[in-house]
Amino acid sequence: MHLLAFDTEFFLQRIFAGFESGAVYAMLGLGLVIIYRSSGLLNFAQGEMAMFSTYLVWALVGGDGGGGMNVWLALVLVMIISFAGAAVIQAAVIRPLGDPHLNPLAVVIVTIGLYLTMHELPALFWDSANHQLTPLFGTGSIDIAGTAFTYRALGAVVLLLVEAAAFWAILRYTKLGLALRAVSTNSESASLSGVAVQRTLMLGWGLAVAIGVVAGVTTVGTQVFDPNFMLVVIIYAFAGVTLGGFDSPLGAVVGGLTVGLITETLPFYVDAIGGEFQLMPAFVLILVVLLVRPQGLFGRREVNRV
């Protein structure tokens, strides 16, 4: 692995690849932020939930060869299914845990239990072999200033922007958004003021997992996938929200994109990282941010609960 001479075109390609990966991390990050804001916990099963949802899309589309439902229609349908499923999961296994910050062990164990369960569901319903999904955006590319931009990459960024806008609108203008904001500010006074806290939390989970479906489908893109495709991606997404701030939607987007840019450029210019050591920057980022600025770039400083 030798250092390449600086090549502007190649650098541009890397930057664009960074936006493509970063868009996925940001989408997952948005889901993590909603759950953090509504339930106050880190959902370690977020990636696996998106993974399973992706399998549902794959099944509806008609498997490897396609021939079933239109992929966009399947995506929307699975988002609805996932919304409902996640709301049920929240009510069934997350609600009984109480305040997550008072019992972090229980939260970790339950979300890891969910992670293990979700991870095996494809093997239970189908198999754990390699599959491919009809891509959302086709396989072509357009040429801008001598650099080939794939539809897939452009699509990922557009989807992220749509999701972020929708998310912002929901938070800003809907009753659910208002309730979510109230709940995350202070669940006790929210419940006093008549907001049905539990229902809001359920809806928050549903929303988070539903937007994760888009992340899953985008991650897979044109690639071959198996049930492991989210294991590493979720760590990058966590690095993104750590950087942006666990409670900040804006932070999730900025953080996710930043992590994407770092992971897609650094290994090419720093030999010590290289291809087999891609996780290193993400880990260092998580560690350093939590040490130096635990609330992240855009998060609010957390008040220590006693």
Contact set for another protein, span 118-177 (CB under 8 A) = 118-121, 123-124, 127-132, 139, 148
Window contacting another protein (CB under 8 A); options: 6-14, 72-80, 195-203, 247-255: 6-14
Share in percent of the chain as helix, strand, coil (round to 5): 70, 5, 25
Nearer to another protein, 179 or 285 (CB): 285
Instruction: Please give the C-alpha separations between residue 160 and each of 48, 119, 303, in angstroms, as whole numbers.
Output: 19, 25, 31
* Residues from 31 through 60 that contact another protein (CB under 8 A): 41-42, 44
- Quick one: 50 or 195, whose CB is closer to another protein? 50
How many residues line the site for another protein (CB under 8 A)?
78
Examine residue 295 and tell whether it contacts another protein (CB under 8 A): no
Strand intervals (E) in 218-296: 224-225
CB of 292 to another protein, least distance (A): 9
Least Cβ distance, residue 34 to another protein (angstroms):
16
Token pair in block for residue 107? 């939260």
Cβ 16 to another protein shortest distance, Å: 11
Q: Are 33 and 253 in contact (CB under 8 A)?
A: no
Distance in Å, CB of 214 to another protein, minimum: 19
Residue 119 and residue 55 in contact, taking contact as beta carbons nearer than 8 Å:
no
Question: Dihedral sign, CA of 273, 16, 283, 110?
Answer: negative
Provide the residue count of the chain.
306
- The nearer residue to another protein, 171 or 235, going by C-beta atoms, is 235
3-state class (DSSP) for residue 173: helix
Residue 102: strand, helix, or coil? coil
Does position 287 interact with another protein (CB under 8 A)? The reply is yes
> How far apart (Å, rounded) are the C-alpha atoms in residues 36 and 286?
17
| CB proximity list for 280: less than 8 A, separation 6 or greater | 273
Does 15 bind another protein (CB under 8 A)? Our answer is: no
The interface with another protein within residues 191-250 (CB under 8 A) comprises: 222-229, 231-232, 235, 238-239, 242
Among 70, 104, 185, 189, the residue binding another protein under the rule CB under 8 A is 104
Distance CA 305, CA 47 (A): 28
Phi and psi of 232, rounded to 5°?
-85, -35
Q: Is 264 one of the binding residues for another protein (CB under 8 A)?
A: yes
Q: How far is the CB of 72 from another protein (least distance, A)?
A: 20
User: Residue 86 has which token pair?
Assistant: 């996640």
Min. distance of Cβ 65 from another protein in angstroms? 10
Identify the sign of the CA torsion 231, 235, 240, 246: positive
Question: Which one of the spans 66-74, 79-87, 159-167, 274-282 is the region binding another protein (CB under 8 A)?
Answer: 274-282
- Token pair belonging to 168: 């912002």
Going by their DSSP bridges, the two strands 224-225 and 147-150 should be labelled as: unpaired
Least distance CB 192 / another protein (angstroms): 25
Shortest distance, position 267 Cβ to another protein, whole Å: 6
d(CA 155, CA 138): 10
Which CB, 72 or 125, lies closer to another protein?
125
Candidates 13-21, 196-204, 208-216, 252-260: pick the segment binding another protein (CB under 8 A). 13-21
Q: Which of 12, 77, 280, 297 binds another protein (CB under 8 A)?
A: 280
